[in-house]
Amino acid sequence: METVESKFLRYVCVDTPSSEDNFENTPSTDCQKNLARMLCSELKALGLQAEVTEQAYVYSCIPANCASEYSIGFIAHIDTVEKPCGAGVKPIVHKGYSGGDICLLNGKLSPDDFPVLKNYAGQDVITSDGTTVLGADDKAGVAEIMALAEYLVSHPEIKHGKIGIAFTPDEEIGHGAKLFDLNKFGCDFAYTVDGEELGEITYETFNGAGFDLAVSGVNIHPGQAKGKMINAVVIANEFINALPENERPETTEGREGYYFVTEIRGGVESCNVRGIIRDHDREEFGRRKAFVSAAVEKLNAKYCGRLTLSIRGQYYNCAEVIAPHKHLIDNAKAAMEAAGVKPSVFPVRGGTDGSSLSFMGLPCPNICTGGHNAHGLNEFVSVQSMRKVVEILLGIVGLYSKG
């Protein structure tokens, strides 16, 4: 059997960054199809039925070998973030990590900056070379689900109900569940394996939306600009300054929502601002969207309609759907405790495919992968943590086989 870490090291070397510039298409990048096809082939090689759609969704299942009250499934996404850099990943395994600084090409990964790193002294820590993200979000989850599948196929004596498996594209741009086929998946409940630190269980997410602002200006020679030039960059900056500076990701925590400007590009003639809006509370979420719209309306009044805003919904807080199904959380906690892992249940400051899938009729909490520092060049994951996650998934399977 191939180890979970070996699978992970193979998968992260396949480029799969998704792209907000092409979010109207699924997948948003063709490269995601390569990993989708690879996973489908590997599932078939295990003797399982599997298929991959043109949109890069992978569906498979392990048939039941005993009676169970519910069928459950596990889901992970194959895409990685596009920025700061999601392509050309070169993973490095730091065997028996010493507990000090890890030197990378562009600097170092230090416990002075990330104290949690100290918890992994003596373990095998995987990073990128420092020039890209690692892609543990969510290829650690992909590898863990694939390791689970291989283990169950190799040990038919383990009793279990029907186990669904699915991999989705474009989660990082909020569209992972857009074309998810519940009938193909065919399960009563599921878990997304897309969290971070070992022990995490989350079933409450942000409500999320993205916004795009286009500003048109008038360019003219600066020597003749008085009363004639309209600088789109200046107008875009006015919009950014209108957002409360104490309600940004770097100034909020817990259940506090935020406005996050993720990108600004352009020049005097035209400028575009891209960002996201997040809040756990549905009413506050609506207020935040209205605030952004009002800020643009005010600037349009000042600059004669030179701003165009679009706000698109991404996902909603899935707690209201999952909370009535307490067994999902109880069984995840019990599986972790049996594996010697302390469970930690808290509202996640983000969202997963499970947010949308829950509202589609598939209650779907999120559990850990063992990774840290997702979406950044300092991302890392512990081999031992990934192995523990596979053990936790096996524990969940066992609990549902007992009804």
pLDDT, tens digit, 9 for 90 and up, residues 25-37: 999 999 999 999 9
Reported confidence tier of residue 347, pLDDT bands at 50, 70, 90: confident
Residue 304: is its pLDDT beyond 70?
Answer: yes
Looking at the chain, which residues constitute the CATH 3.40.630.10 domain(s)?
Answer: 4-205+317-401
Among candidate residues 5, 20, 42, 79, the one labeled active-site is 79
Residue 301: is its pLDDT beyond 90?
Answer: yes
Tell me how far apart the alpha carbons of residues 72 and 162 are, in angstroms, rounded to a whole number.
7
State which H helix or E strand residue 58 sits in.
strand 58-62
Looking at the chain, which residues constitute the CATH 3.30.70.360 domain(s)?
Answer: 207-315
- The neighbouring-strand residues paired with 259 are 277
Provide the greatest CA pair distance for the chain: 82
Neighbour count for residue 63 (Cβ, 10 Å): 10
79 given a catalytic annotation: yes
171 given a catalytic annotation: yes
pLDDT, tens digit, 9 for 90 and up, residues 373-398: 999 999 999 999 999 999 999 999 99
What pTM was computed for the model? 0.86
Architecture of the domain delimited by 4-205+317-401: 3-Layer(aba) Sandwich (3.40)
pLDDT for position 314: 87
pLDDT, tens digit, 9 for 90 and up, residues 225-278: 999 999 999 999 999 999 999 999 999 999 999 999 999 999 999 999 999 999
pLDDT for position 315: 87
Among candidate residues 5, 82, 124, 171, the one labeled active-site is 171
CATH number of the structural domain 207-315:
3.30.70.360
pLDDT for position 320: 87
Ramachandran class of 307: left when φ > 0, alpha when ψ lies in -120 to 50, beta otherwise: beta
Residue 223: is its pLDDT beyond 90?
Answer: yes
pLDDT, tens digit, 9 for 90 and up, residues 88-108: 999 999 999 999 999 999 889
Share of the chain above pLDDT 70, in %: 100
